[in-house]
Amino acid sequence: MQVVYSRCCGLDVHKDSLTACVLVFDEQGRRQVRKKEFPTYWQQLQRLKLWLYANKVQHVAMESTGVYWKPVWNILQGHFPLLVTNPYHMKNIPGRKTDQNDAEWIADLLAHGLLRGSFIPPPGIQELRDWTRYRVKLMQEYNRIHNRIHKVLEDANLKLSSVASDILGATGRAIIQAIIRGQEHPDWLADKAMSSLRNKRDQLRLVLKGRITDHHRHLLRELMDDVERVEEKICRVQTEIAERMSPYQELMDRLTTIPGVDILTAWTLIAELGPDMSVFPDADHAASWAGLVPGSFESAGKRKSSRTRHGNRWLRRALCQSAWAVAHKKDCYLTAHFYRRASRHGAKKAIVATAHQILIIVFHILRDGTVYREHGRRFRSHESRQNDKAAFEVILKPRPETAPPVPRRGRGLRCKCAERGIDCKHRPPE
């Protein structure tokens, strides 16, 4: 194969060390291999940079192994053309498995131009990613604490969730705080109801009669402290994200015109995709990168599996949530798209297909600077589409009036009540 880069380096990165392999090709095509191992501490990575300069390296490639590639990227960025590749795309042939062989294999693939780089956003977008992903983790922690509080209430025979849709709403918090202070009588607890739950005090008295112990009070006190702590952190994180997203306000305004996409989803879209869509050849490549396209696994002319591949799980999660939200709207193209897919493939596959459609719209909005334009429901029958293809014009006319059907009795025999001059008992009453 033709050598593309005559001096390149492959890095096999681990947590505490990395192996570097430099390949040098002379004019006659002869290959020279130079290998060296470095710790992944800051000072040793500086030595790695100097060693690469000494070998006159032109390009560097490494695997995206967890988060361990990031310190190496930060040190070498701006000094060498870097390539971070998906490990799935560069599996070595079976045989001896060592770090030196892996580094040489990466360098060999890079030298012949057989590696495809992963999308690495600019530093500002990388920081936004960290904040939006941290917010997701905080929301997950909030949900876990919410479920633990529900478990303690059930253990105390308090069925608060049967009446209140949110046990951590204004009424639920007031009741839980009253329980922590020592109140147990259901009448006292039911009087804490607020807003529309004031009309359900009779039901609250029934569900708030339980067996409350000091053990339950101590657990609820600790869990409510955790809820307040996580809520404060979520508020601070969202404030920080809003400040960092202020330069992209115009993009967010255009993204929120899409049904099912709110401001929080717009944050995730900008943080994961970035504002520049030139990094993707087209919208289909962006959908494939997000893991929202069917997989391709075919052998001997048979389609084995079409499971979606692993992609950007943060982006996929946000788009699937938007797809679930848009599924409940009315007179919307995306809603019609969801139900059309669900009727053939089921709700779960329809959600992925709708998320894929939303991502296609997002790609064109970010690339072309447009806004979403609603076309409404566009259901058309199979016969109507076939008639359009055949260039026929369909005209609907009322059916001509026909004689009423002759009443029949059992086993399909004709009714003879009229011949006998008696009232027909076989004709259904009008």
Give the CATH number, domain containing residue 89.
3.30.420.10
CATH code, domain with 129: 1.10.287
pLDDT tens digits, one per residue of 53-74? 999 999 999 988 888 999 999 9
pLDDT in the model for residue 9? 93
Which is nearest to 371 in space by CA: 249, 263, 257, 247?
Answer: 257
Q: 25 with 8: CB under 8 angstroms?
A: no
Same domain (yes/no): 178, 267: no
Same domain (yes/no): 138, 183: yes
128 contacts: CB under 8 Å, gap ≥ 6 = 241, 244, 245, 267, 270, 271
Same domain (yes/no): 137, 47: no
Strand segments (E) across 262-364: 297-299, 302-305
Which is nearest to 376 in space by CA: 421, 336, 428?
Answer: 336
What DSSP state is assigned to residue 155? H
Residues 350, 367: Cα–Cα separation, whole Å: 26
Q: 17 with 7: CB under 8 angstroms?
A: no
Any domain includes 34: yes
Any domain includes 428: no
The full DSSP string for 189-224 is HHTT--GGGGGGHHHHHHHT-S---HHHHHHHHHHH
Query: 185 is written with which tokens?
Result: 């009588």
Query: Which amino acid, 344?
Result: R
Any domain includes 2: no
Q: How many residues does the structure list for the chain?
A: 430
pLDDT in the model for residue 120? 87
Same domain (yes/no): 272, 188: no
371 contacts: CB under 8 Å, gap ≥ 6 = 254, 257, 365
Residues 357, 338: Cα–Cα separation, whole Å: 10
Any domain includes 315: yes
Domain count, the chain: 3
Q: Identify the residue whose tokens are 């009669």.
A: 209
pLDDT tens digits, one per residue of 366-412? 999 999 988 776 555 555 555 556 666 667 777 776 655 555 555 45
Q: End of a domain among 76, 111, 146?
A: 111
Query: Which amino acid, 312?
Result: N
Query: Which amino acid, 195?
Result: S
Residues 425, 417: Cα–Cα separation, whole Å: 8
Q: 334 with 354: CB under 8 angstroms?
A: yes
CA atoms within 13 A on the CB side of 221: 10
Q: End of a domain among 244, 264, 280?
A: 244
Q: What is the pLDDT along the chain (430 residues), one digit of tens a residue?
A: 678 888 999 999 999 999 999 999 888 778 889 999 999 999 999 999 999 999 999 999 998 888 899 999 999 998 999 999 887 777 765 655 677 888 888 888 888 888 888 888 888 999 999 999 999 999 999 999 999 999 999 999 999 999 998 999 999 999 999 999 999 899 999 999 998 899 999 999 999 998 999 999 999 999 999 999 999 999 999 999 999 999 999 999 999 999 999 999 999 999 999 999 999 999 999 998 998 887 666 656 666 667 777 788 999 999 999 999 999 888 889 999 999 999 888 999 999 999 999 999 999 999 999 999 887 765 555 555 555 566 666 677 777 766 555 555 554 556 666 666 667 666 655 4
Any domain includes 361: yes
pLDDT in the model for residue 298? 60
Residues 244, 109: Cα–Cα separation, whole Å: 39
Any domain includes 50: yes
pLDDT in the model for residue 330? 84
Any domain includes 394: no
Same domain (yes/no): 67, 152: no
Backbone angles phi, psi at 198, to 5 degrees: -65, -30
pLDDT in the model for residue 118? 83
Q: End of a domain among 52, 81, 111?
A: 111
User: Which domain range does residue 145 map to?
Assistant: 124-244
